[in-house]
A and B are shown apart, each in its own frame.
Chain A
Amino acid sequence: LAKTTQPISMDSYEGQEVNITCSHNNIATNDYITWYQQFPSQGPRFIIQGYKTKVTNEVASLFIPADRKSSTLSLPRVSLSDTAVYYCLVGWGRGGGNKLTFGTGTQLKVEL
């Protein structure tokens, strides 16, 4: 069962780039890495997903090194509205089998 480790909290200022790293040392060959964002009193919301190297979408980038034992979510030019908890999810390899594992989340606080 892949387990993940993330920093408990991070602070940043508006306009800065934020990088949140997740460790998943025992990731399985067919596991994917997914990041979610959660605001208070809401369910988590999908941000980005990847298997290896780099993935970029309109809101974030995901960097995964060759050994896949960690991943980094990069948020460019954060704003106050990016203040939220960010979860790293590893598991659910294609074809099923592995169970889902959420990290404990990183509370990102963005200030002016």
Chain B
Amino acid sequence: DVKVTQSSRYLVKRTGEKVFLECVQDMDHENMFWYRQDPGLGLRLIYFSYDVKMKEKGDIPEGYSVSREKKERFSLILESASTNQTSMYLCASSQTRDIDEQYFGPGTRLTVT
């Protein structure tokens, strides 16, 4: 079974803090994704990566950066957290660069106060 794990289920941070969200997959998948999910807006893609050290912007990259130093790990970074970044963050991975089933982690509920 593919497993995608996220470092925290719940996180509370203060405005201006630097925030790291970690995601690890155990199936040697090439692609990894970060989404945020907000009521009424569905899932929106922040960044994705199709290889180590490779990244591409999604629909809403502003205020975020990512890091993929190892194939199994994809980190989402909020350089200076703001209250409008309070959201559910979901990580996913898929096997190849072609369209493939995405496997999602359980999500991290981030609250910025």
Contact = CB atoms under 8 A, between A and B. Distances in A.
B104 A102 contact: no
B40 A104 contact: yes
A49 B40 contact: no
Given A43-B92, A87-B42, A87-B43, A96 B105 contact: no
B42 A105 contact: yes
B50 A96 contact: yes
Interface residues of B, number: 26
Nearest to B42: A104
B43 A44 contact: yes
B107 A43 contact: yes
Interface residues of A, number: 25
Nearest to B43: A102
B13 interface: no
Per DSSP, chain A at the interface is: loop
Interface in B75-104: 90, 92, 97-99, 101-104
B45 A43 contact: no
Contact of A46 (B45, B58, B101): B101
Contacts of A103: 42
Name the residue in A49, A91, A93, A104 with the highest tally of chain B Cβ atoms < 10 Å from its Cβ.
Answer: A104
A95 B99 CA distance: 8
B72 to A, nearest CB: 17
A42 interface: yes
Interface in A76-112: 87, 91-96, 99-105
Nearest to A96: B97
Contacts of A41: 106-107
6 contacts: A36-B102, A42-B106, A92-B98, A92-B99, A102-B43, A104-B40
Interface of A: 1, 32, 34, 36, 41-46, 49, 87, 91-96, 99-105
Interface of B: 4, 33, 35, 40-45, 48, 50, 56, 58-59, 90, 92, 97-99, 101-107
